[in-house]
Structure 1
Amino acid sequence: MERLLQRVLSRIVRRGSLIITFASGQALTFGDGTGTPLAVRFTTKEWQRRLALDPEMELGEAYMEGGLVVEQGDIAELLALLMSQVGYQVPSIAAKSLMKLRFMGRRLAQFNPRERAQRNVAHHYDLDGRLYSLFLDADRQYSCAYFEHEGQSLDDAQLAKKRHIAAKLLFDRPELDVLDIGCGWGGMGLYLADNAGANVTGVTLSQEQHGIASARAQERGLSERARFLLQDYRDTPGPFDRIVSVGMFEHVGIGHYDEYFTRVAELLKDDGVALIHSIGRSEGPGITNPWIAKYIFPGGYIPALSEVLPAIERAGLLVTDIEILRLHYAETLKAWRERFLAHEEEIERLYDARFVRMFEFYLASSEMAFRHQGMMIFQVQLAKREGVVPLTRTYIPEAEATLRKMENRNRIGLRLAGE
């Protein structure tokens, strides 16, 4: 089996320099010798066998469980080397067969009725609240930031993201009723209530997020304009002038796209505007990485636009704008990973060393997927009839300028994450 793994690695690693010490003690170098050498070690032959047969699942498990130890460099550098290989192919017949089976079963894996959707959300978002405070920005934005220029801080880039989305939602008058589907810890809803004068209803399936969002609204004196409900969007009554959803669509599941956009159409007023912000894949339909599906986001799937747009059309909605954000999420994830590792000892006390390795692998692999494997963010603006959205996009920077003035007027002191 060691020879099989060596053949697998020789097919994958064509560039760079990767030194692998096998459980037998034999050390081999893979790649063309360029770049800074990385070195890893397998602790048992069993982990070598598992990785050779199913690398998509077992690389993450091996790192989590200590079966693969990075001795020179770190896991992010290892993943960057592996995921950036030109012409990467699934390395074995067994791995190819597993991928085909997973693609065939993806609709079942993504079947998310109400009860299952709530369990899936709790798996990731109802973790100890202190964890997220240690690596997110001060507003707990757990989605892609919008970096307006190189070197912009994470807090400023997350504020820019909220401003950019608000501008696209066209708050041309106060007191608009807004539905925030998947409201997280309330940051987007509170921003719209505070700076756009909106009346916001935010819905989430996470008890942890619901409690924090409601408490934040009360602390900031916004409870009358921003209310947060522990509720499935499918059960929320409407209608609304504006609908926004940031980082929730990835949890819908491909079999529920028609249901999702039909419900958005039902909840949106005839002159309303909706904005869906989601991770997407540039290279066509695929499957959820099995390790991510098992340990991080059960029931989740990152869609290609070719899978999303037909459902929008069938729901009778008009696409009025699409924007693709490419490396913004890579930079966001890098900032999260650096903050996470800066608090590694605190997080290990909250959980354990295995959890730290699991979460580090999740952040690093996600970052490299955006850098090297065609992941991106799409923001799709929707309406029900023509003439609701201006003819040109000049309204976006104009609205952002107005929102900046409101932010300065309403600004509260930012705190460092973890304080």
Structure 2
Amino acid sequence: MSVVGRVRDDLAARGLLDGLPAAFLAGVTRFATPPAAELDTLRTAAGDLAARLAAGEAGDDDLPLITRVAYVAGHGGLLAAHGVRTPSYDVLGSYRDNLTTPVGPQLEERPRAGDRRWRVLGRDVGFPLGVPACVLNGGEEWVRFHARNGFSVLTYKTVRSRAHQPNVQPNWTFAPRPPADVVVSDPWDWMAPGSPDVSTVNSFGVPSPAPEEWMPDLERSLAAVDADQLLLVSVMGEGEGTGLVDDFAQVAGMAQEAGAPVVELNLSCPNTLSSSPDGVKPPLCLDADATLAVVEGVRRALDDRTGLVAKLSWLDEPGLAALVPRLAPLVDGVAGINTLQSRVVRSDGEPTFPGRALAGLSGAAARDAALDLTRRLVGLRETGGHRFDVLAMGGVTDVASFAALFEAGADAVQSASGAFADPFLARDCIAALGDTLPRSVPR
């Protein structure tokens, strides 16, 4: 039986077919209502699809629409059970609900590049592709999910010294329009899973459970990855001056105590709330002196055995050239880029994320910026004789975009929007490049 047939039978067996159009429209209008003409088009498409499914007349050509309708209707897990490429995070659900429930498809066996290994931050990994610090690595179940799907360089979502709540929803939307000075993204927008052109915008803030929750979860997450997979831990402090440095050092120490082999400093978040007119702060790494103070303070606080990575946002040429020589002696790696802080509105001109004019743009729209920063980082490493590893991310949505960052000199590559929209991304990269990707270590 075809995938469409299996999905249809499952929807029918659960009594979901009749209510599918209404559930889809409830999802479409969850955070805002499309213009009347667009809403009518979506209503008609969902109704006609449900009728074809009920009559047994839906075919393979209907799978893209089935995927959209079922996912938005809240049935992403049903799609995943039948191996359908579907986004792994439920953008209509709460951050807390998503912490323990990836809704994307999981492979029965982890894909591997034979016995080949690549050296990343002093460890040998099965393939140099992973998922960065974000909600896609918010807890043990997410780490298990991505490790099983072949992502081998994972960064546990940013944790803090006290609990922080996420920004109000919506938190994550697709951005299908060409990038511009102002990003237009509606909460009901959609891009097909597996599309290399996928872009998204997000505004989660930097939520974190309390240490008494995340520390034991981190211990379990570290135990969940294989010996040839690496789990870093992202940390972030708060405060001003020495208070900021001390808080970064405290939470880094907590991560080390929980067993983290490598701590990544989140110096680049574009979504931290503030009382400014835009509602958010600029990334910390734009202030070189504050950045160096944090890195120096954390390096002093950690054991020598614990690796240290600094995560940066996109920096212009003078800014990066001034920062890297000061940063290099203190760290084992530099990661970048984070999402691009952008002004984001709906198609009616209202903010996509109420109360926050700025949010983080990622996916294909960030690809050129990521390549630019990676090439400059690698160049500064070579000309300065530095020894830090480069963890590159931004715009990795398919095999070609992974290869581009690796060929630019990155030691490992990570993907957020790409991994969200296509949980099979690592499998595809391993299948295409596992036998030929250069710079593997002798065994």
Relative to the length of structure 1, the TM-score reads: 0.30
Structure with the bigger percentage of helix: 1
Task: Please tell me whether Structure 1 or Structure 2 has the larger radius of gyration of its CA atoms.
Answer: 1
Relative to the length of structure 2, the TM-score reads: 0.29
